[in-house]
Amino acid sequence: MLAHLDLFHHMLHLRGLLQLAAHMEERGDRVTLISPDTITLIGSEQSAAPNVTTTKGATIVSGNAYAVLRTLKGHDAPEYAVTREELGALNARAVADLEAGDALRAFTDTLTRITAGTPAVAPAAATPAPEAPPAATAPNAERAARPRRSAEADAGSADQPAA
């Protein structure tokens, strides 16, 4: 499960880079410098802050952006300078890597395992099967029928008004 959470966080931070590129486009910025502590937008005016909040309300945290860029660029640096176009290209490559990677495949497998039993259980609980006479009921069939009987009893008591 932790691997899945790491995948989601990575995807969230990649989305942040796309939001940063869109914010740069809106402002007319050509380059941004990203360090662990600061995002500096350089264009018609320059601004530096630990976080950037876009006009649409998204917040990009410098530490997260820096960590993702370090991974995408493949080398350590005190800060990374990137253009909007480079942010888009790095993000596109990262998405392609995610789609081809094992992490997304493992998540898909987990979802498949989790949801595999759900459709078979939900209809049985929603529509109980008619019960066979007690003499014809085998021990295993009787065990399977017990949860349905209790579900019917619960449904019946839920329809009665409170005293």
Please check whether residues 44 and 104 belong to one and the same domain.
Answer: yes
Please check whether residues 40 and 9 belong to one and the same domain.
Answer: yes
With tokens 């300078």, the residue in question is 81
Residue 153: per-residue pLDDT: 46
With tokens 């899945």, the residue in question is 4
Residue 106: per-residue pLDDT: 67
Q: Report which of residues 30 and 122 the model is more confident about.
A: 30
Closest to 142 (Cα-Cα) out of 151, 133, 153: 133
Helix, strand and coil content of the chain, in percent to the nearest 5, comes to: 65, 15, 25
Within-domain flag for 163: no
Q: Does the predicted TM-score (pTM) go above 0.75?
A: no
Residue 97: per-residue pLDDT: 77
65 with 19: CB under 8 angstroms? no
Please check whether residues 90 and 16 belong to one and the same domain.
Answer: yes
Domain count, the chain: 2
User: Left (φ > 0), alpha (ψ -120 to 50) or beta: where does 57 sit?
Assistant: left
Tell me the residue range of the domain where 150 lies: 120-157
Q: Is the pLDDT reported for residue 136 higher than 50?
A: no
